[in-house]
């Protein structure tokens, strides 16, 4: 029996989807434990090139069941669209399960996400505009609507009717809430009920008691993967608040959002990119606004999977990853996108930060985001390898300088790097 959590160790988009697709080959159950369709997990495998948002990345293995856990927030029409796209590619998704306890993302959550961002003006978070934050707000405020409610039309209509007057009051409270057609539609009781109940009928065959699914898998000694969304630096508690998401990407969130005892998680695999990227606002100490940053973006195809936004790129930040190691207790790290560094003469790695205000050196992430914003990276330099690594299939076949780079990151992280990837395809994952 083994349960492995796969967790993002940076600002998201580390390659969690490709790692889960790779590991799921020998998994019986994959559980997404948090976030919603703000995620964009790209999977490139022998079946094709896929962009997943809600559906877990083990979906391409027919014998692997894939559960959307109770910790996920689900936009039913968006999930149906994703299922349709997979069906068109030949995947019927009979192996998809949806926890009945998962909360729903409603059209008014999407609207409120947008209004809230507009109101923040220059202080905006740069959310994915998918309504994720407001959906979790309603969950915590104990007025959310869940998958189980959607399965009962009367119940769903009653809950919707009860919540909409409050939603309309909130919407009209935004200074610039111009009542466009889109605004009216997002609060239109009849339209929402029709669209959601229709989507609910499409999803009904997948709905299950998620906890029971997980429990039975544990009982049978099956191999379970817990698939994270985003990364530590955007965690609601530990990330760069307020530039965070509204859930917990770290393993603490995995137990809660998948429905299994924390002590049953046997291993936690961190996923880190060989450099740094982020989408959305907030401090990013190693960000590069020069040709090197552009080279990372172009060679790494660093454009958001969900929103198409260019990702902010920079050198590897060992302080941020070490912070994540301390919070998540990784058994090991999968280091992705090493090939993106193939063309560089010299590489930089931030081993600490320095505060220009008082000269203090930081080896962890400060709680104060305004402090963090002014910290400057303290770099060490390593030689590049200027060799194409995309054809390498073994650790030994990597150029010596590439191995030395990985070994230095391993030292700085304080945990083994067990996997290194040199391209997006399954075969381009090297196990050490």
* For ligand IMO, the closer CB: 99 or 128: 128
Q: Which of 21, 28, 41, 138 is catalytic?
A: 41
> Catalytic: 13?
yes
With CB under 6 A as the contact rule, the residue among 17, 69, 251, 293 that binds ligand GDP is 17
42 touches ligand GDP (CB under 6 A) = yes
What are the φ/ψ torsions at residue 98 (nearest 5 degrees)?
A: -125, 125
206 contacts which partner out of Mg ion, ligand GDP, ligand IMO, none, CB within 5 to 8 A by kind? none
132 touches ligand IMO (CB under 6 A) = yes
Q: Within 13 Å, how many C-alpha atoms sit on residue 404's CB side?
A: 10
Distance CA 393, CA 401 (A): 16
138 touches ligand GDP (CB under 6 A) = no
235 touches ligand GDP (CB under 6 A) = no
Question: What letter does residue 104 receive in the DSSP assignment?
Answer: E
Q: Within 13 Å, how many C-alpha atoms sit on residue 82's CB side?
A: 24
234 touches ligand IMO (CB under 6 A) = yes
Q: Minimum CB separation from ligand GDP for residue 337, in Å? A: 4
Q: Minimum CB separation from ligand IMO for residue 18, in Å? A: 11
* For Mg ion, the closer CB: 127 or 305: 305
Distance CA 112, CA 340 (A): 38
Distance CA 90, CA 425 (A): 19
What are the φ/ψ torsions at residue 267 (nearest 5 degrees)?
A: -140, 150
* For ligand IMO, the closer CB: 229 or 421: 229
133 contacts which partner out of Mg ion, ligand GDP, ligand IMO, none, CB within 5 to 8 A by kind? ligand IMO
127 contacts which partner out of Mg ion, ligand GDP, ligand IMO, none, CB within 5 to 8 A by kind? ligand IMO
Q: Is 16 left (phi over 0), alpha (psi -120 to 50) or beta?
A: alpha
248 contacts which partner out of ligand IMO, Mg ion, ligand GDP, none, CB within 5 to 8 A by kind? none
Alpha carbon 388 to its chain's center = 29
With CB under 6 A as the contact rule, the residue among 6, 7, 10, 18 that binds ligand GDP is 18
- C-alpha distances out from residue 411 to 192, 292, 352, 407, Å: 53, 25, 14, 6
Instruction: Rounding to the nearest 10 degrees, give the CA dihedral for residues 367, 6, 308, 122.
Output: -10
| Binding residues for ligand GDP restricted to 300-329, rule: CB under 6 A | 301, 305
419 contacts which partner out of Mg ion, ligand IMO, ligand GDP, none, CB within 5 to 8 A by kind? none
With CB under 6 A as the contact rule, the residue among 230, 254, 375, 420 that binds ligand IMO is 230
The count of other CB atoms within 10 Å of the CB of residue 42 is: 18
Q: Minimum CB separation from ligand GDP for residue 201, in Å? A: 30
With CB under 6 A as the contact rule, the residue among 20, 43, 115, 125 that binds ligand IMO is 125
Using the structure block, give the residue that is written with the tokens 């769903």.
Answer: 156
339 touches ligand GDP (CB under 6 A) = yes
**Where are the alpha helices (H) located in 71-180, listed in sequence order?**
76-88, 107-120, 132-140, 147-150, 153-173
With CB under 6 A as the contact rule, the residue among 4, 5, 13, 103 that binds ligand GDP is 13
279 contacts which partner out of ligand GDP, ligand IMO, Mg ion, none, CB within 5 to 8 A by kind? ligand IMO
E strands present in 9-64: 29-32, 41-45, 48-52
Using the structure block, give the residue that is written with the tokens 């996997």.
Answer: 419
Contact 426, 22 (CB under 8 A): yes
428 touches ligand IMO (CB under 6 A) = no
Contact 23, 334 (CB under 8 A): no
> Catalytic: 41?
yes
Q: Minimum CB separation from ligand IMO for residue 282, in Å? A: 7
Q: Is the peptide bond before 187 cis (omega within 30 degrees of 0)?
A: no
Instruction: Mark residues 16-35: x for contact with ligand IMO by CB under 6 A, - for none.
Output: -------------------x
* Residues recognised as catalytic: 13, 41
């Amino acid at each position: 029996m083994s349960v492995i959590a796969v967790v993002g160790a940076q600002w998201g988009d580390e390659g969690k989807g490709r790692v889960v697709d790779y590991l799921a080959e020998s998994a019986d159950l994959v559980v997404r434990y948090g976030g919603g369709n703000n995620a964009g997990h790209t999977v490139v495998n022998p079946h094709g090139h896929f962009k997943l948002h809600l559906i877990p990345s083990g979906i391409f293995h027919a014998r692997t069941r894939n559960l959307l856990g109770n910790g996920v927030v689900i936009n039913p029409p968006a999930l149906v669209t994703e299922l349709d796209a997979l069906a068109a590619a030949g995947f019927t998704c009979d192996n998809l399960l949806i926890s009945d306890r998962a909360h729903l993302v409603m059209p008014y959550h999407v609207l409120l996400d947008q209004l809230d961002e507009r109101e923040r003006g220059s202080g905006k978070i740069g959310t994915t505009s998918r309504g994720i934050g407001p959906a979790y707000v309603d969950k915590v405020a104990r007025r959310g609507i869940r998958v189980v409610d959607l399965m009962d039309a009367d119940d769903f209509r009653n809950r919707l009717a009860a919540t909409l007057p409050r939603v309309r009051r909130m919407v009209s409270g935004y200074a610039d809430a111009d009542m466009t057609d889109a605004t009216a539609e997002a609060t239109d009781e009849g339209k929402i009920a029709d669209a959601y109940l229709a989507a609910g009928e499409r999803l009904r065959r997948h709905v299950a008691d998620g906890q029971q699914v997980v429990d039975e898998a544990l009982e049978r000694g099956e191999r379970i993967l817990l698939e994270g969304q985003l990364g530590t630096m955007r965690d609601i508690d530990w990330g760069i608040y307020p530039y965070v998401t509204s859930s917990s990407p770290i393993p603490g969130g995995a137990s809660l959002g998948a429905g299994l005892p924390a002590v049953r998680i046997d291993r936690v695999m961190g996923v880190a990119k060989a450099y740094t990227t982020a989408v959305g606002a907030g401090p990013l100490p190693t960000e590069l606004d020069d040709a090197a940053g552009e080279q990372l973006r172009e060679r790494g195809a660093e454009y958001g999977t969900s929103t198409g936004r260019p990702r902010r790129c920079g050198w590897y930040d060992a302080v941020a990853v070490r912070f994540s190691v301390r919070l998540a207790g990784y058994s090991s790290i999968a280091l992705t996108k090493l090939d993106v560094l193939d063309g560089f003469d010299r590489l930089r790695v931030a081993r600490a930060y320095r505060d220009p205000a008082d000269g203090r050196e930081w080896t962890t992430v400060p709680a104060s985001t305004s402090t963090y914003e002014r910290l400057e990276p303290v770099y060490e330099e390593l030689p590049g390898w200027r060799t194409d690594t995309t054809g390498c299939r073994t650790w030994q076949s990597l150029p010596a300088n590439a191995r030395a780079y990985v070994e230095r990151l391993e030292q700085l992280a304080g945990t083994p790097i067990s996997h290194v990837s040199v391209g997006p395809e399954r075969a381009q994952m090297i196990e050490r």
